[in-house]
Structure 1
Amino acid sequence: MSPVHPADSSSNEAHLSDLHRFQLLVSAIHDYAIYMLDPEGRVVSWNAGAQRFKGYTEAEIRGQHFSRFYTPEDQAAGIPQLALQSAAANGRFEAHGWRVRKDGTRFWANVVIDPIHAEDGRLIGFAKITRDISEQKAAADALRRSEQEFRLLVQGVTDYAIYMLDPAGRVTNWNAGAQRITGYAKDEILGEHFSRFYTPEDRASGLPDIALKAATTQGRYEHEGWRLRKDGSKFLAQALIEPLRDAEGQFVGYAKITRDITEKQEAAAALKRTEQALVQAQKMEAIGKLTGGVAHDFNNLLQVIAGNLQLLARDIAGNERAERRLQGALSGVKRGAKLASQLLAFGRRQPLEPKVVNLGRLLGATSDLFRRTLGDAVEVETVIAGGLWNTFVDVAQVENALLNLLINARDAMNGIGKLTLEVGNASLDEAYARAHADVVAGQYVLIAVSDTGSGMTPDVMAQAFDPFFSTKPEGKGTGLGLSMVYGFVKQSNGHVKIYSEPGLGTTVKLYLPRSHEAEDLPAATETRHASGGQETILVAEDDEEVCATVVDTLSELGYRVLKAHDGESALAIIQSGIPIDLLFTDVVMPGTLRSPDLARKARERIPGIAVLFTSGYTQNAIVHGGRLDPGVDLLTKPYSREDLAWKVRQVLANQASRVSTAANARTSPT
């Protein structure tokens, strides 16, 4: 045995001391599992960290193969053996994966395996270091899920364009909403400057750069304006730009959110138009009620004046001076009646008697009248389209409306110029109807009256249809012509539109609904004779002065006349059994018995009786939807002696014809 030198003994003791300290250090580490494997992978050492992570004591695990820490799936795939082979071949093996504790639970591990060689180079085992990074993985997974969910959220949004810009304003990402709103696919727009979405005018004014600078300095920029789609069309955008900074606070670009609010703005505009239409409707209703009440009393008053003047005419026959004054008074009555009629027209309270008519034929029949009205200094051109549709209107009111338009056009040209009257077919689509709250989309017959006059300013156009509004000198017009046209067209379920510019003339377009029915061809014109008869007429009129005038006029015409001042009194006379040929009743009377009910009861009691209504304002008794009820005869106040005589004869003749037809039907063989 060789003697031990003091120096060798000291070196060995130092080496053993270092090894002991290292073993103590490894054994004391709790955050890492540090242990050794023999060349076959069996555990030969075990520290406190390994026991904490995996749950095995050193006595339980020493000599066991390290593959038991792997999942069954990894064991089946041979992962433990591949790890040792890789470490031996490459000098190191590192991986992340699921590992299994003693109790079967899993944890996510970071694993490093290093080969251990003897001094002669032999592989004598492996050093294995394992760290439990489950919490870090959970945090990373949560962050990844959050980022993925956010990406899915942004990409799934289609109502908003959500994308990012780099500091220079170039697009760096693009969501589905951006593609839907602008029309650009992702690969078409990435890297492009966002200013391409702006209009040329906004680009020229530098608005894109202003927006980025404002966002950078103020922390936010919000704006509404027109933007361009890929196809060149415009949309109204609500845009928000905010600067983006990373975790260190460094500026990295901009977040941009854009919303297409075109439909929203259109809806707001449509709501405003609807509100305006409602205000207009309420104004019309108020004026209608006012004019209706005034018209009833005013027309009764005119009827008294007109009736007495006409009765007086016979007493002053031959006195030229008196006759001239009488005609002047009657002319004033007609002007008053026209004024009341225009007010009722504007208030949509006229009792219309619509028929299916071809306006081309109607204009052809009235063109001479129009030319005489306009004078020789006005050049008139009439254009009637071929294949013209029919419309369902009151013929007399169409003529009256056209006459008002032509006179207005003549006055706008100071009696000299060119006037064009066009009639054709027209269709108003849904887009037009949305832009005009009072319009129903559909097919119409269009009448357009154009002049070369002075034109209108926007302010004048806005008031053109208001009653009593006029640009003519005082005393030159009532301001009711256009308002009458407006009321008539609206009551006929049509539409009116004015196009005008100062110095360029005016065009007024009337759209009247198309009718698919055949035209009601006009009957041969009847010659009106103020003839009377000997029939018995019951006059039901609550105004004593009107009643007296009517009774005197009918008596002069030869009729036997009975009178009543309300519906109940008239019904009592009817039920008395007195023979009556015609009931002549005011539509609006006091009492509980309405005039239509009086007429019905009269027909029940006297089946062959004729009924003629009269009124200065019909309300809704015999007029519904602005149209006179079918089979109803009406004589509107104020009326002349000739109108009364003719209408009475017409109604009696029509009733006699109906009675005769019914009698023949009952007696004819079946």
Structure 2
Amino acid sequence: MNEHSAVMAEDGTLWRVRVDRMLPVVIGISLALTVSALLYFAGTAAREQQTALLQQQRSYEIVVLAHQLDASVAKAESSLGRYVISMDKDIGRQYQAEWDRAAQELATLKRVTLNDRVESELVSQLEAAFKERGSALSDIALRTTYDQKETSLGTFYQASKARSLKRINSLLDQVIEEENKRLDERNIAVARAGDLMAQATTTYRLFGLGLLTALLLMAWVARAAMKERRQEQRQIDEEYRRALALEAAVADRTEELRHAYAKLQRESEERGKAEESLRQMQKMEAVGQLTGGIAHDFNNMLAVVVGGLELARRRVSDEPEAIRHIDNALDGANRATALTRRLLAFARSEPNMPEPQSPDEVVTGLVDLIDRAIGDQITVKMELDSGDWPIFADRHQLENALLNLAVNARDAMDGRGTLIIRTAQARLRAREVGDCPAGEFVRLSVIDTGCGMTPEVLQRVFEPFYTTKPIGKGTGLGLSQVFGVVRQCGGEVNILSSPGTGTEVQLYLPRHMTAFGIEVDVPDLVHATANAQEGSKAPPPSSLTLLVVEDDPRVLAQTRSALADLGHQAVCCDHPSKAVTMLEANPDIDIILSDVLMPDMTGPEMIASLPAKFRAIPVMFVTGYAGDVADNRLFDGHLLLRKPYTLASLEKTIGQAISRLPGLPSNAEGAL
């Protein structure tokens, strides 16, 4: 019994020893498993929270980018509108910079939405609409540079209603709406992750309290385990601090986004102010019309002066002293005429009035002005070899193009070097130079010994407002104006240049062909100008009756006197509304001679409104400024005489009109 009890006691002791040894191990394993589970739970919660916060931040960035793009496009269009109205080159450059900024913002938006299929598709459509809109606005800028202000303003007004603008706004709204949906989902995910993190924190604390109690109760068996648990607790605390730091960073970023949104609101208000400013500038368009009126009145006065002096000179042919004074006065009036035309041509306020020109004579007549413009340190050489090949171009616009090229060459040579102006005959194959068709061309080259241009610069030289010159030294409009002038003539511009070798700008202008005194391949519009060759005038025609429509009584009286001096009769009409009545009352009228700008209606509008029975009467338009005629095609098929005109140019134009009288052969003018 005792032995049995001893055996039992020994077995019980052994069992207790085994239990005592296993208990810490079991507790340690349980604690380790619990701690591992808590660590995994905490890590997962922290990662989910960080991911949710990053997704939330991305949504904010996409919304801000979309608003910024909308604001940039609006600012660019507002700047373009201001440029169309004011034609201020600085505002034109501001438009280009703002449009480039919008393109960069669109590229950024495309990059950040690349991994989202829905938003990526929307942004791709937005990019196509943006390119279409950019092309339309670039065309408006180009029209503003080359054409008349009214045409550009009308195009801009139509562009403001274009489908591409509505498409851009619609797509931006869709991108913002799509991202706002995702933002709502991500806000919920952030809140969920925050709750999960809070639960993890609470669990950590409860576990720590329980663990501390257990450690106090089992300190004699778990000293080593306690040390490990403390280390684990420090790791958990570190994760918690990181989570707090991440929350603080998200709060800071949210504050930044709030400020960005406030900035966008301010920019939207500025856009509204800019639109109001544009409306005000449209109201001020009447001020621009005043400029044309002044030019019109000034040319009317010059017409009276030049015509009166010519008539006076014919009356005092036996007074040498009087003739000398009259010739001096005529010279001064002609200089004023040339100055007015140069200013109007440079400002592109004068209609394109091409005539047959000798390229060599144009260059020779311009060399003195080029010398004064580029300075004494540059040697100008002329190599003229166009022969008898004429071109059909507006002389003033061509002179301005050459002067622009000379000034660019001066800047490229830094004021010192050699400038060569060369003319030559060229026979081209189709598309050998740009879009030129096969045929005969006159090549007019301006060559400098300057710094040259890189391929990157060559690709952009014709863009309006693009310039490599420092701020304040260039507008970026010179070469674009040259390009417009040459294209109006049906030609092409070719530039040969490389860094360090200088630049050669080649203007290819079609040869103006004539055969048997009849012009071939030229527009129906015939231009007779004050600088006509008086030595080649035809013998005076027989007496004709002309209906003279002119609202200025002084010009009307001078025109009547000039026609009488040439042996013709004038039926005077002081308002275009009376023209039909006078034509009915005078069935013997041979030619209609009409001013262009008059009260209530223009000369071309008056001619277009005539009954069909008067349509066969030849028409001679007289103008010193036609900038307010909305459609220059109304001149087509009629003669055009520039104010102030000489008696010789008036006589020549009447001769051209006679060839159009019904019943006369087509070569009647040559028979005069």
Q: Highest Rg: 1 or 2? A: 1
Q: Which has the higher contact order (CA 8 A, sep 6+)?
A: 2
Same fold, TM exceeding 0.5?
A: no
TM-score normalised by structure 2 residue count: 0.45
Higher strand share: 1
Higher helix share: 2
